[in-house]
Structure 1
Amino acid sequence: MPPAQVPPHGDPPPPPGDDPTAAAKTAVRDRILTTRRRRPLPERLEVAADLARVVLESPQVRRAASVAAYVGVGSEPGTGPLLAGLLAAGKRVLLPVLLPDLDLDWAVHTGDAGLAPASRGLLEPSGPRLGVDAVATPDVVLVPGLAVSPTGLRLGRGGGSYDRALARVPVGTFTCVLLHDDEVGLDVPGAPHDRPVTAAATPSGVRRF
Protein backbone atom coordinates (compact mmCIF):
# COMPACT_ATOMS: atom_id res chain seq x y z
CA MET A 1 0.00 0.00 0.00
CA PRO A 2 1.25 3.57 -0.54
CA PRO A 3 3.19 4.99 2.42
CA ALA A 4 0.52 7.65 3.08
CA GLN A 5 -2.27 5.10 3.50
CA VAL A 6 -3.34 4.13 7.01
CA PRO A 7 -1.93 0.64 7.73
CA PRO A 8 -4.37 -2.19 8.44
CA HIS A 9 -3.63 -3.39 11.94
CA GLY A 10 -3.34 -0.13 13.86
CA ASP A 11 -2.64 3.55 13.38
CA PRO A 12 0.54 4.72 11.67
CA PRO A 13 3.41 5.36 14.06
CA PRO A 14 3.60 8.87 15.49
CA PRO A 15 6.27 11.25 14.22
CA PRO A 16 9.55 10.11 15.75
CA GLY A 17 10.45 13.56 17.09
CA ASP A 18 13.35 13.26 19.50
CA ASP A 19 12.61 9.62 20.41
CA PRO A 20 15.46 7.54 18.92
CA THR A 21 13.53 4.28 19.41
CA ALA A 22 10.51 5.59 17.49
CA ALA A 23 12.77 6.89 14.74
CA ALA A 24 14.54 3.54 14.49
CA LYS A 25 11.23 1.66 14.34
CA THR A 26 9.98 3.95 11.59
CA ALA A 27 13.11 3.32 9.53
CA VAL A 28 12.76 -0.47 9.84
CA ARG A 29 9.04 -0.34 9.04
CA ASP A 30 9.62 1.75 5.93
CA ARG A 31 12.29 -0.62 4.66
CA ILE A 32 10.21 -3.76 5.21
CA LEU A 33 7.03 -2.29 3.76
CA THR A 34 8.92 -1.20 0.64
CA THR A 35 10.26 -4.73 0.18
CA ARG A 36 6.83 -6.26 0.75
CA ARG A 37 5.15 -4.05 -1.81
CA ARG A 38 7.68 -5.15 -4.43
CA ARG A 39 6.93 -8.86 -4.06
CA PRO A 40 5.18 -10.14 -7.23
CA LEU A 41 1.80 -11.85 -7.01
CA PRO A 42 3.13 -15.37 -7.80
CA GLU A 43 5.59 -15.07 -4.92
CA ARG A 44 2.83 -13.87 -2.57
CA LEU A 45 0.66 -16.85 -3.45
CA GLU A 46 3.57 -19.23 -2.89
CA VAL A 47 4.33 -17.63 0.47
CA ALA A 48 0.72 -18.03 1.60
CA ALA A 49 0.65 -21.71 0.62
CA ASP A 50 4.01 -22.52 2.21
CA LEU A 51 3.17 -20.58 5.37
CA ALA A 52 -0.09 -22.50 5.74
CA ARG A 53 1.73 -25.82 5.41
CA VAL A 54 4.37 -24.88 7.97
CA VAL A 55 1.90 -23.60 10.56
CA LEU A 56 -0.59 -26.46 10.14
CA GLU A 57 2.21 -29.03 10.52
CA SER A 58 3.63 -27.46 13.67
CA PRO A 59 3.05 -29.60 16.79
CA GLN A 60 1.51 -26.71 18.72
CA VAL A 61 -1.15 -26.08 16.07
CA ARG A 62 -1.80 -29.77 15.45
CA ARG A 63 -2.55 -30.24 19.17
CA ALA A 64 -4.58 -27.05 19.50
CA ALA A 65 -8.35 -27.13 19.83
CA SER A 66 -8.64 -23.39 19.26
CA VAL A 67 -6.49 -20.80 17.47
CA ALA A 68 -6.59 -17.01 17.37
CA ALA A 69 -5.54 -15.83 13.93
CA TYR A 70 -6.19 -12.93 11.52
CA VAL A 71 -6.96 -12.17 7.89
CA GLY A 72 -3.80 -10.99 6.15
CA VAL A 73 -4.41 -7.94 3.94
CA GLY A 74 -2.36 -5.74 1.65
CA SER A 75 1.29 -6.77 1.49
CA GLU A 76 1.09 -8.99 4.60
CA PRO A 77 1.83 -12.69 4.13
CA GLY A 78 -1.45 -14.21 3.00
CA THR A 79 -3.45 -16.23 5.51
CA GLY A 80 -6.28 -17.50 3.30
CA PRO A 81 -4.95 -21.06 2.89
CA LEU A 82 -4.02 -21.17 6.58
CA LEU A 83 -7.49 -20.15 7.77
CA ALA A 84 -9.09 -22.68 5.44
CA GLY A 85 -6.76 -25.38 6.75
CA LEU A 86 -7.51 -24.56 10.37
CA LEU A 87 -11.25 -24.88 9.76
CA ALA A 88 -10.78 -28.09 7.77
CA ALA A 89 -8.83 -29.52 10.72
CA GLY A 90 -11.76 -28.81 13.03
CA LYS A 91 -10.12 -25.96 14.97
CA ARG A 92 -12.15 -23.23 16.61
CA VAL A 93 -10.74 -20.07 15.04
CA LEU A 94 -11.06 -16.58 16.50
CA LEU A 95 -10.44 -13.50 14.37
CA PRO A 96 -9.94 -9.91 15.54
CA VAL A 97 -12.33 -7.00 15.18
CA LEU A 98 -10.58 -3.62 15.37
CA LEU A 99 -12.27 -1.27 17.84
CA PRO A 100 -12.30 2.54 17.57
CA ASP A 101 -9.63 2.82 20.28
CA LEU A 102 -7.45 0.31 18.33
CA ASP A 103 -8.00 -2.47 20.86
CA LEU A 104 -9.10 -5.85 19.50
CA ASP A 105 -12.41 -7.59 20.05
CA TRP A 106 -12.80 -11.17 18.80
CA ALA A 107 -15.37 -13.33 17.00
CA VAL A 108 -15.52 -16.90 15.72
CA HIS A 109 -14.44 -17.46 12.10
CA THR A 110 -17.02 -19.45 10.16
CA GLY A 111 -15.45 -19.26 6.70
CA ASP A 112 -15.02 -16.71 3.93
CA ALA A 113 -18.76 -16.16 3.69
CA GLY A 114 -18.76 -14.89 7.26
CA LEU A 115 -16.17 -12.18 6.60
CA ALA A 116 -17.26 -8.61 6.01
CA PRO A 117 -15.31 -5.56 4.77
CA ALA A 118 -14.31 -3.23 7.58
CA SER A 119 -12.39 0.00 7.99
CA ARG A 120 -8.82 0.34 6.75
CA GLY A 121 -9.23 -2.41 4.19
CA LEU A 122 -9.67 -5.14 6.80
CA LEU A 123 -11.86 -8.21 6.56
CA GLU A 124 -13.50 -9.07 9.87
CA PRO A 125 -15.87 -11.78 11.15
CA SER A 126 -19.49 -10.68 11.23
CA GLY A 127 -20.62 -12.98 14.04
CA PRO A 128 -21.23 -12.16 17.72
CA ARG A 129 -18.36 -10.45 19.48
CA LEU A 130 -16.74 -12.24 22.37
CA GLY A 131 -14.94 -9.35 24.09
CA VAL A 132 -11.33 -8.24 24.26
CA ASP A 133 -10.44 -10.94 26.80
CA ALA A 134 -11.42 -13.76 24.42
CA VAL A 135 -7.83 -13.82 23.12
CA ALA A 136 -6.83 -15.39 26.44
CA THR A 137 -8.71 -18.62 25.67
CA PRO A 138 -7.11 -20.14 22.50
CA ASP A 139 -4.27 -22.66 22.69
CA VAL A 140 -2.35 -20.82 19.95
CA VAL A 141 -2.27 -17.11 19.06
CA LEU A 142 -1.06 -16.17 15.57
CA VAL A 143 -0.27 -12.49 15.05
CA PRO A 144 0.81 -10.18 12.23
CA GLY A 145 4.02 -8.23 12.28
CA LEU A 146 6.77 -6.70 10.18
CA ALA A 147 9.83 -8.27 11.78
CA VAL A 148 11.06 -10.13 14.83
CA SER A 149 14.37 -10.00 16.69
CA PRO A 150 16.53 -13.03 17.60
CA THR A 151 14.90 -12.94 21.06
CA GLY A 152 11.28 -12.73 19.88
CA LEU A 153 10.75 -8.97 20.06
CA ARG A 154 8.06 -8.27 17.45
CA LEU A 155 7.82 -5.12 15.36
CA GLY A 156 4.22 -4.18 14.60
CA ARG A 157 2.57 -1.35 12.72
CA GLY A 158 2.76 1.14 15.57
CA GLY A 159 -0.84 1.25 16.79
CA GLY A 160 -0.30 -1.06 19.78
CA SER A 161 -3.32 -3.27 19.02
CA TYR A 162 -1.47 -6.54 19.35
CA ASP A 163 0.68 -5.42 22.26
CA ARG A 164 -2.57 -4.96 24.20
CA ALA A 165 -3.93 -8.28 22.97
CA LEU A 166 -0.75 -10.19 23.80
CA ALA A 167 -0.77 -8.72 27.30
CA ARG A 168 -4.00 -10.69 27.90
CA VAL A 169 -2.58 -14.01 26.69
CA PRO A 170 -1.55 -16.38 29.52
CA VAL A 171 2.15 -17.09 29.97
CA GLY A 172 3.05 -20.34 28.24
CA THR A 173 0.65 -19.92 25.33
CA PHE A 174 2.23 -20.47 21.92
CA THR A 175 2.29 -16.98 20.36
CA CYS A 176 3.63 -16.86 16.82
CA VAL A 177 4.19 -14.02 14.36
CA LEU A 178 3.76 -14.81 10.64
CA LEU A 179 6.53 -13.37 8.47
CA HIS A 180 8.63 -13.72 5.35
CA ASP A 181 11.96 -15.49 5.74
CA ASP A 182 14.02 -12.30 5.50
CA GLU A 183 12.04 -10.61 8.31
CA VAL A 184 13.25 -12.93 11.09
CA GLY A 185 16.28 -12.23 13.25
CA LEU A 186 16.44 -8.51 12.55
CA ASP A 187 17.58 -5.79 14.93
CA VAL A 188 14.19 -4.66 16.23
CA PRO A 189 14.15 -1.53 18.43
CA GLY A 190 12.20 -2.14 21.64
CA ALA A 191 10.02 -0.06 23.94
CA PRO A 192 8.68 -0.95 27.41
CA HIS A 193 5.17 -1.71 26.11
CA ASP A 194 6.35 -4.12 23.39
CA ARG A 195 5.27 -7.73 23.94
CA PRO A 196 7.52 -10.52 22.66
CA VAL A 197 6.27 -13.66 20.92
CA THR A 198 7.44 -17.20 21.54
CA ALA A 199 7.93 -18.13 17.87
CA ALA A 200 7.97 -16.93 14.27
CA ALA A 201 6.61 -18.89 11.30
CA THR A 202 7.88 -18.31 7.78
CA PRO A 203 7.56 -20.32 4.56
CA SER A 204 10.71 -22.24 5.49
CA GLY A 205 9.77 -23.23 9.04
CA VAL A 206 9.05 -22.26 12.64
CA ARG A 207 11.67 -20.63 14.83
CA ARG A 208 11.22 -20.76 18.61
CA PHE A 209 12.54 -18.06 20.94
Structure 2
Amino acid sequence: MTETLPTPTSLRRTLHSTARLTAFAGGPLFWLGTLLHPARDGWSIAAVGERYGLTHDIQALGLGLQVVCLASMIALGNQLTRRRDLRSWYAALAGTLFWFALIIFDGSHNPVRAEYAPSVVHQPADLDTPAALIVFPALLIFPLGYVWLGWTLSRHGLRLAGVLLGVGAVAYTLGGLFIFTAGPRFGLIQLFEVAGATLYAVGYFLIGRRA
Protein backbone atom coordinates (compact mmCIF):
# COMPACT_ATOMS: atom_id res chain seq x y z
CA MET A 1 0.00 0.00 0.00
CA THR A 2 1.15 3.50 -0.77
CA GLU A 3 0.94 6.10 1.94
CA THR A 4 -1.10 9.19 1.12
CA LEU A 5 0.76 12.35 1.98
CA PRO A 6 -1.22 15.18 3.60
CA THR A 7 -2.24 18.02 1.32
CA PRO A 8 -1.04 21.55 2.09
CA THR A 9 -4.58 22.44 3.21
CA SER A 10 -4.87 19.51 5.60
CA LEU A 11 -1.37 20.16 6.92
CA ARG A 12 -2.21 23.78 7.67
CA ARG A 13 -5.43 22.68 9.34
CA THR A 14 -3.43 20.32 11.55
CA LEU A 15 -0.96 23.07 12.41
CA HIS A 16 -3.81 25.43 13.28
CA SER A 17 -5.36 22.84 15.60
CA THR A 18 -2.01 22.03 17.18
CA ALA A 19 -1.18 25.70 17.78
CA ARG A 20 -4.61 26.37 19.24
CA LEU A 21 -4.73 23.39 21.59
CA THR A 22 -1.17 23.76 22.85
CA ALA A 23 -1.72 27.49 23.48
CA PHE A 24 -4.93 26.79 25.41
CA ALA A 25 -3.23 24.10 27.52
CA GLY A 26 0.37 25.34 27.79
CA GLY A 27 -0.32 28.71 29.38
CA PRO A 28 -2.74 27.48 32.09
CA LEU A 29 -0.51 24.53 33.02
CA PHE A 30 2.44 26.84 33.52
CA TRP A 31 0.21 29.14 35.61
CA LEU A 32 -1.05 26.21 37.71
CA GLY A 33 2.46 24.99 38.48
CA THR A 34 3.44 28.51 39.48
CA LEU A 35 0.37 28.93 41.69
CA LEU A 36 1.04 25.64 43.52
CA HIS A 37 4.76 26.37 43.96
CA PRO A 38 5.75 25.97 47.64
CA ALA A 39 8.10 28.24 49.58
CA ARG A 40 11.57 28.43 48.07
CA ASP A 41 13.95 28.28 51.04
CA GLY A 42 15.80 25.04 51.68
CA TRP A 43 13.98 24.07 54.88
CA SER A 44 10.54 24.52 53.27
CA ILE A 45 11.59 22.52 50.21
CA ALA A 46 12.78 19.68 52.43
CA ALA A 47 9.48 19.77 54.33
CA VAL A 48 7.22 19.45 51.27
CA GLY A 49 9.26 16.68 49.67
CA GLU A 50 8.01 15.52 46.27
CA ARG A 51 5.51 18.35 45.97
CA TYR A 52 8.29 20.74 44.99
CA GLY A 53 9.31 18.57 42.05
CA LEU A 54 5.68 18.00 41.05
CA THR A 55 4.97 21.72 40.66
CA HIS A 56 8.02 22.00 38.42
CA ASP A 57 6.84 19.02 36.37
CA ILE A 58 3.54 20.83 35.76
CA GLN A 59 5.37 23.99 34.74
CA ALA A 60 7.70 22.02 32.46
CA LEU A 61 4.73 20.34 30.78
CA GLY A 62 3.18 23.75 30.14
CA LEU A 63 6.43 25.08 28.71
CA GLY A 64 6.80 22.03 26.48
CA LEU A 65 3.35 22.64 25.04
CA GLN A 66 4.26 26.28 24.50
CA VAL A 67 7.30 25.20 22.49
CA VAL A 68 5.01 23.13 20.24
CA CYS A 69 2.64 26.10 19.92
CA LEU A 70 5.42 28.49 18.91
CA ALA A 71 6.88 25.99 16.43
CA SER A 72 3.44 25.47 14.88
CA MET A 73 2.89 29.21 14.57
CA ILE A 74 6.29 29.60 12.92
CA ALA A 75 5.41 26.85 10.45
CA LEU A 76 2.09 28.57 9.65
CA GLY A 77 3.84 31.90 9.08
CA ASN A 78 0.65 33.90 9.72
CA GLN A 79 2.35 36.71 11.64
CA LEU A 80 5.48 36.92 9.47
CA THR A 81 5.94 39.74 6.98
CA ARG A 82 9.68 40.30 7.28
CA ARG A 83 12.78 38.55 8.55
CA ARG A 84 12.76 40.42 11.86
CA ASP A 85 9.34 38.93 12.64
CA LEU A 86 10.71 35.42 12.29
CA ARG A 87 13.63 36.25 14.58
CA SER A 88 11.27 37.38 17.32
CA TRP A 89 9.39 34.07 17.21
CA TYR A 90 12.69 32.18 17.38
CA ALA A 91 13.80 34.37 20.31
CA ALA A 92 10.63 33.49 22.24
CA LEU A 93 11.09 29.84 21.32
CA ALA A 94 14.70 29.88 22.58
CA GLY A 95 13.64 31.64 25.78
CA THR A 96 10.95 29.04 26.42
CA LEU A 97 13.42 26.21 25.87
CA PHE A 98 15.94 27.78 28.25
CA TRP A 99 13.25 28.29 30.89
CA PHE A 100 12.15 24.68 30.41
CA ALA A 101 15.74 23.62 31.14
CA LEU A 102 15.87 25.91 34.19
CA ILE A 103 12.61 24.51 35.59
CA ILE A 104 13.79 20.92 35.13
CA PHE A 105 17.12 21.72 36.79
CA ASP A 106 15.49 23.58 39.68
CA GLY A 107 12.89 20.87 40.30
CA SER A 108 15.46 18.07 40.40
CA HIS A 109 18.47 19.79 41.97
CA ASN A 110 17.05 21.79 44.87
CA PRO A 111 15.05 19.01 46.63
CA VAL A 112 18.23 16.94 46.79
CA ARG A 113 20.31 19.88 48.01
CA ALA A 114 17.65 20.74 50.60
CA GLU A 115 18.02 17.34 52.23
CA TYR A 116 21.63 17.87 53.32
CA ALA A 117 22.41 21.59 52.86
CA PRO A 118 19.19 23.63 53.14
CA SER A 119 21.04 26.84 53.99
CA VAL A 120 22.61 27.08 50.50
CA VAL A 121 19.46 26.37 48.46
CA HIS A 122 18.69 29.28 46.13
CA GLN A 123 21.82 31.05 47.29
CA PRO A 124 24.71 32.35 45.13
CA ALA A 125 26.98 29.80 46.81
CA ASP A 126 25.01 27.01 45.12
CA LEU A 127 25.38 28.48 41.62
CA ASP A 128 28.28 26.66 39.99
CA THR A 129 29.34 26.95 36.35
CA PRO A 130 27.05 24.25 34.88
CA ALA A 131 24.05 25.76 36.66
CA ALA A 132 25.00 29.27 35.56
CA LEU A 133 25.05 28.14 31.92
CA ILE A 134 21.35 27.38 32.28
CA VAL A 135 20.18 30.03 34.75
CA PHE A 136 21.73 33.20 33.33
CA PRO A 137 20.73 32.68 29.67
CA ALA A 138 17.21 31.76 30.78
CA LEU A 139 16.89 34.90 32.94
CA LEU A 140 17.94 37.01 29.95
CA ILE A 141 16.48 35.32 26.87
CA PHE A 142 13.06 34.38 28.29
CA PRO A 143 11.83 37.92 29.10
CA LEU A 144 13.59 39.62 26.18
CA GLY A 145 12.31 37.02 23.73
CA TYR A 146 8.72 37.56 24.78
CA VAL A 147 9.05 41.36 24.80
CA TRP A 148 10.33 41.13 21.22
CA LEU A 149 7.56 38.70 20.25
CA GLY A 150 5.01 40.98 21.93
CA TRP A 151 6.19 43.89 19.80
CA THR A 152 5.82 41.75 16.66
CA LEU A 153 2.33 40.61 17.64
CA SER A 154 1.31 44.22 18.29
CA ARG A 155 2.27 45.10 14.74
CA HIS A 156 -0.01 42.36 13.43
CA GLY A 157 -3.16 43.32 15.30
CA LEU A 158 -2.54 41.24 18.43
CA ARG A 159 -1.57 44.11 20.67
CA LEU A 160 -3.26 42.82 23.84
CA ALA A 161 -1.74 39.36 23.48
CA GLY A 162 1.67 40.90 22.84
CA VAL A 163 1.48 43.19 25.87
CA LEU A 164 0.31 40.37 28.15
CA LEU A 165 3.07 38.02 27.01
CA GLY A 166 5.82 40.63 27.28
CA VAL A 167 4.74 42.12 30.62
CA GLY A 168 3.90 38.70 32.02
CA ALA A 169 7.29 37.22 31.14
CA VAL A 170 9.13 40.23 32.60
CA ALA A 171 7.10 40.21 35.84
CA TYR A 172 7.56 36.47 36.27
CA THR A 173 11.31 36.75 35.68
CA LEU A 174 11.57 39.58 38.22
CA GLY A 175 10.02 37.24 40.78
CA GLY A 176 12.78 34.75 40.07
CA LEU A 177 15.46 37.43 40.35
CA PHE A 178 14.15 38.40 43.79
CA ILE A 179 15.20 34.95 45.00
CA PHE A 180 18.87 35.92 44.63
CA THR A 181 18.65 39.65 45.32
CA ALA A 182 16.33 39.58 48.36
CA GLY A 183 16.53 35.94 49.49
CA PRO A 184 14.25 32.94 48.89
CA ARG A 185 11.87 33.97 51.72
CA PHE A 186 11.13 37.40 50.24
CA GLY A 187 7.35 37.88 50.23
CA LEU A 188 7.02 39.42 46.76
CA ILE A 189 8.52 36.45 44.92
CA GLN A 190 5.30 34.46 44.71
CA LEU A 191 3.24 37.59 44.06
CA PHE A 192 5.33 38.60 41.03
CA GLU A 193 5.60 35.06 39.68
CA VAL A 194 1.86 34.31 39.95
CA ALA A 195 0.88 37.73 38.56
CA GLY A 196 3.35 37.34 35.69
CA ALA A 197 2.27 33.78 34.94
CA THR A 198 -1.38 34.90 34.92
CA LEU A 199 -0.78 37.62 32.32
CA TYR A 200 1.43 35.24 30.34
CA ALA A 201 -1.21 32.48 30.34
CA VAL A 202 -3.93 34.88 29.16
CA GLY A 203 -1.59 36.02 26.39
CA TYR A 204 -1.22 32.43 25.21
CA PHE A 205 -4.99 32.00 25.36
CA LEU A 206 -5.41 34.99 23.04
CA ILE A 207 -2.81 33.56 20.66
CA GLY A 208 -4.77 30.30 20.64
CA ARG A 209 -7.95 32.13 19.70
CA ARG A 210 -6.21 33.69 16.71
CA ALA A 211 -4.16 30.65 15.71
Pair in the same fold by TM > 0.5: no
**TM, length-normalised to structure 1:** 0.26
Larger radius of gyration: 2
**TM, length-normalised to structure 2:** 0.26
Q: Relative to total residues, which structure has the larger strand share, 1 or 2? A: 1
Q: Relative to total residues, which structure has the larger helix share, 1 or 2? A: 2
Higher relative contact order (CA 8 A, sep 6+): 2
